[in-house]
Structure 1
Amino acid sequence: MTAPGIELLVVEDSEPDTVLIQEALEEALTAAGLSFRLHLVRDGLEALAFLRQQPPFEDVVLPDMILMDINMPRKNGLDVLHEIKTDVGLTHIPVVMLTTSAADTDVALAYQWQASSYLVKPTGYDQFIDAIQALEAFWMGAARFPPRV
């Protein structure tokens, strides 16, 4: 089991999806007895500023994992993924693509650019909770995060 204090970054521009993700994570992680801090940013440029600890994110702790949408304004999730995985200071962070896109081209590109996994967002709340619980069981139960740098 991963030690308490998991730092999660969610990159999502849709307010309803953000609320759903937040509720599902809180339910799954709390039920598993894990403490965590959830950071929310609304687009790819904010995500990169957060990860590079640029204003207004100078004092943040780098996340242990990133959950990221693809279709966002200003900079899409695939472009952000590529930047993360080509930055030696960030490449160690697991990135889970959590998106509505089931397009083969998006899936292939995400894995080509080293996404840790690719989840298509379920449409119903119960299915969404199930998906987040499966994510929690693997990433916060069976797997181990890289040490914080």
Structure 2
Amino acid sequence: MNAHQHPSYHEATIFIVDDDDIDAMTLTRSLKKMKILNPVCRARDGQEALELLTSGRIAAPFIILLDLNMPRMGGIEFLKAIRADPDLTGTVVFMLTTSKSDEDISAAYRDHVAGYIYKQEIDGSFMDVVRLIEHYWKIVELPYDGRVISK
């Protein structure tokens, strides 16, 4: 994406929240392979992600790629926390998980995920997920609150 696409364009940060190092590394490699140069950040669980978001250390706007089963704070608990926070409630979240549980799928959509993606159905690579996200932010306006983020 480039800054000349739209007058109010703000580069979206991709925020990976996943305790699995291999999955996080594969996602990051897939982004680079597709020449997506957006900033990429990672947290290893929901608690760390929430701390990074509430401290303002993740640049807005952002798209979260969220795992379901993580230590300390799992994906559903994290979703509930950001939906309860007035500053984070509109955050775009895609759930990436190995769970096909109807209960997990329903819980994720109740907390307004943009999509629920089963990791094993993306053929061991994350190229389809990366393409989905790339197309998503090309056609959807993401909220931008004008915050200046300190690094």
Question: What range is the shorter-chain TM-score in?
Answer: 0.7 to 0.9
Task: Tell me, in whole angstroms, the C-alpha distance in 1 between the residues paired with 2:14 and 2:145.
Answer: 13
Deviations, residues 8-51 of structure 1 (Å, cap 9, x unaligned): 211000011011111122233x2xxx541001110111011011
The question of whether the paired residues in 1 share the 8 Å contact of 2:61 and 2:143 is answered with no
1:117 corresponding residue in structure 2:
115
The question of whether the paired residues in 1 share the 8 Å contact of 2:122 and 2:129 is answered with no
1:143 corresponding residue in structure 2:
140
Total equivalences in the alignment: 139
Query: Secondary structure, in 3 states, of the residue corresponding to 2:116?
Result: strand
Query: Secondary structure, in 3 states, of the residue corresponding to 1:102?
Result: coil
1:104 corresponding residue in structure 2:
102
TM-score normalised to structure 2 length: 0.82
Q: Any gaps of 5 or more consecutive residues in structure 1?
A: none
The question of whether the paired residues in 1 share the 8 Å contact of 2:10 and 2:144 is answered with no
Task: Tell me, in whole angstroms, the C-alpha distance in 1 between the residues paired with 2:57 and 2:108.
Answer: 29
Task: Tell me, in whole angstroms, the C-alpha distance in 1 between the residues paired with 2:31 and 2:133.
Answer: 9
| Percent identity for Structure 1 against Structure 2 | 29
Task: Tell me, in whole angstroms, the C-alpha distance in 2 between the residues paired with 1:7 and 1:103.
Answer: 29
Counterpart code for 1:97: M
Counterpart code for 2:91: I
Counterpart code for 1:47: A
Q: CA RMSD in A?
A: 2.0
Query: Secondary structure, in 3 states, of the residue corresponding to 2:82?
Result: helix
TM-score normalised to structure 1 length: 0.83
Which of 71, 74, 81 is residue 73 of structure 1 equivalent to? 71
Pairing 1:129–2:131 present: no
Query: Secondary structure, in 3 states, of the residue corresponding to 1:136?
Result: helix
1:25 corresponding residue in structure 2:
31
Query: Secondary structure, in 3 states, of the residue corresponding to 2:39?
Result: strand
Q: How far has the Cα of 1:115 moved from its partner?
A: 1.4
